[in-house]
Structure 1
Amino acid sequence: MNDTQQFTQQTKALIDDLKSVCANYGLGNDGNEFKIITQVFLYKFLNDKFVYEIKQLDDSIAKAENWEDALKTLSADDYEMLIMQLSESTAVISPDHYISSLFAKQNEANFADIFDATLTDIARENSDIFSVLTNGGEKIVLFENLSKYVTDQRDDFCKAIVNKLTGFSFEHIFHEKFDFYATIFEYLIKDYNTNSGGKYAEYFTPYAVSKVMARCLVQGDVDNVTCYDPSAGSGSLLMNLAHEIGEDRCTIYSQDISQKSSGLLRLNLILNDLVHSIHNVIKGNTILEPYHKQAN
């Protein structure tokens, strides 16, 4: 088994573990399970991306036995300078909001409130870059209070979730390419993209179909391209187009009436290094209120 196959297997195992926790607390096949799984997965991804970027910027932190202790030794000015060097695709996460910090607090009273506050604080602190907009200009931030979806044993549920996040790090997958993330994304949403999902079911273009369409649409080398989809769904076609063109040579614009789809598109953009296009993702009715036509 090569490294990519191993990372794929580990990432899928994390998704399965999170779904198992939801099932154990009565949320299996529940519409709210989707929100918990995707937001917790994104929290894990952004946490590890922050750690990875910090280590790339400071060799002494990368080589330290404990990177958190090394980070704490920096002066306020040095820490601020380090944070300013982070790429725009990296969410800024404060020490109190690291997964390791949550893990250390899991025996404190009202842990569910601590867990929820961690997610909503991260969402608020990074809202300018990572929020999806509605037609009316409201921001849909990264995270919400997730423990509210559990009717009982909220603290235990949040502890179980956090314990699943500490098994391995995404730090080793950030060099992976588009095909890896496309596979992971499809696996992440596969249980929420079926006819059995009832009113929560929505349909997304399969990766293989989107890949063929993108290859047909993109002919030769192109640069400084705008890609627009008025009913983007989870963004499968847009992601394949961006990959075919080059993620650094295009900007994504989209609209979709579904808040669920808009959230998935944001996740897709984050996974595929297209964070610069998140502010162009609009949740709204394209037919009645075509946002990008009005905006331009």
Structure 2
Amino acid sequence: MSEEEKQQILKQTLWNIANDLRGNMDADDFRDYILGFIFYKYLSRKMELYANVILQPDGLDYGTVEQHPQAQELLEAIRYEALDKLGYFLKPSELFSELAKRGNSGNKNNFILGDLANVLTSIEQSTMGSESEDDFGNLFEDLDLTSSKLGKTEDAKNELIVKVLTHLEGIDFDLENSDSDILGDAYEYLIGQFASGAGKKAGEFYTPQQVSKILAQLVTTNKTKLKSVYDPTCGSGSLLLRVAKEVKEVGEFYGQESNPTTYNLCR
């Protein structure tokens, strides 16, 4: 599938989600909800890919490891490695794809609202005591699953969330492609299409990848290592990541961002 086709699928998916949410909340709110669920899907996919790499020598798949006779030992080993490499941990049953599948099961087990809230909390709790604890604190603070904006009843909220997860399940994050920036692309589109209620963009702009690349090459000219890199208006963090791709090593990353949702996207 070409980049253009992926972009078209992404935009259509985000538009469909926005239409589902539009009757319940204003543009700023549903943008934050969409980004929050994208965070979750992104972390899930990263976890799944990394776990499968660990399990490959044993011929196992992460999606079925909880049914393995030695499931507890395997999960503990993967958890240890994931916290060191990724900074967080998700069990197979906590992955985005699994909850989306359950929500669409069409039976009495398709109520996922409570489990979803527990999973989002579990992601943060999995980091406790590790070096990444501060990085993941309040990562999903904008995702209030108890909000009346999602529906008047628990069933109505669940139905809406299932719709959103189903739409997002169709997005390929293409994480194996180091040049792909689906998170950034989604952020750019959401800002452009679903602006604030006043009809403005609230001072938020996404730096296109081509511009980021030129800027990164300028500040890294004749350098292979940087002691630190700083962006005073870091937004989604794509410019900081682009600088890292232009050199062999960056000691520290620093950024400022006032919008909590965008700050979480950058993290």
TM, length-normalised to structure 1: 0.69
Asked if residue 78 in structure 1 is aligned to residue 79 in structure 2, the reply is no
State the alpha-carbon separation in 2 of the partners of residues 210 and 155 from structure 1.
39
Structure 2 residue identity aligned to 1:190: Y
Cα deviation for residue 161 of structure 1 reads 2.0
Cα deviation for residue 58 of structure 1 reads 1.0
Contact 1:242 1:250 (8 Å CA) reproduced: no
Structure 1 residue identity aligned to 2:260: Q
* Corresponding residue for residue 18 of structure 2: 19
Cα deviation for residue 10 of structure 1 reads 4.3
Asked if residue 32 in structure 1 is aligned to residue 29 in structure 2, the reply is yes
Contact 1:131 1:141 (8 Å CA) reproduced: no
Partner SS, residue 36 of structure 1: helix
* Corresponding residue for residue 161 of structure 2: 158
Contact 2:31 2:194 (8 Å CA) reproduced: no
State the alpha-carbon separation in 1 of the partners of residues 218 and 12 from structure 2.
34
Contact 2:233 2:257 (8 Å CA) reproduced: yes
State the alpha-carbon separation in 2 of the partners of residues 17 and 126 from structure 1.
33
Contact 1:227 1:251 (8 Å CA) reproduced: yes
Cα deviation for residue 188 of structure 1 reads 3.0
User: 1:104-130, CA deviations, whole angstroms, 9 ceiling, x for partnerless residues?
Assistant: 543448643333232222233236526
The aligned length equals 251
Partner SS, residue 233 of structure 1: coil
Q: Kindly tell me: are residues 70 and 96 of structure 1, through their superposed partners in 2, closer, same or farther at Cα, counting changes over 3 Å?
A: closer
Cα deviation for residue 228 of structure 1 reads 1.7
* Corresponding residue for residue 185 of structure 2: 186
Q: Kindly tell me: are residues 63 and 124 of structure 1, through their superposed partners in 2, closer, same or farther at Cα, counting changes over 3 Å?
A: closer
Unmatched segments (≥5 aa) in structure 1: 134-138, 267-296
Percent of matched pairs sharing the same residue: 16
Partner SS, residue 253 of structure 1: strand
Cα deviation for residue 233 of structure 1 reads 3.0
Q: Kindly tell me: are residues 90 and 19 of structure 1, through their superposed partners in 2, closer, same or farther at Cα, counting changes over 3 Å?
A: farther
Cα deviation for residue 102 of structure 1 reads 2.1
State the alpha-carbon separation in 2 of the partners of residues 122 and 44 from structure 1.
12
* Corresponding residue for residue 175 of structure 1: 176
State the alpha-carbon separation in 2 of the partners of residues 166 and 236 from structure 1.
23
Structure 1 residue identity aligned to 2:138: I
* Corresponding residue for residue 212 of structure 2: 210
Contact 2:184 2:236 (8 Å CA) reproduced: no
Contact 2:65 2:92 (8 Å CA) reproduced: no
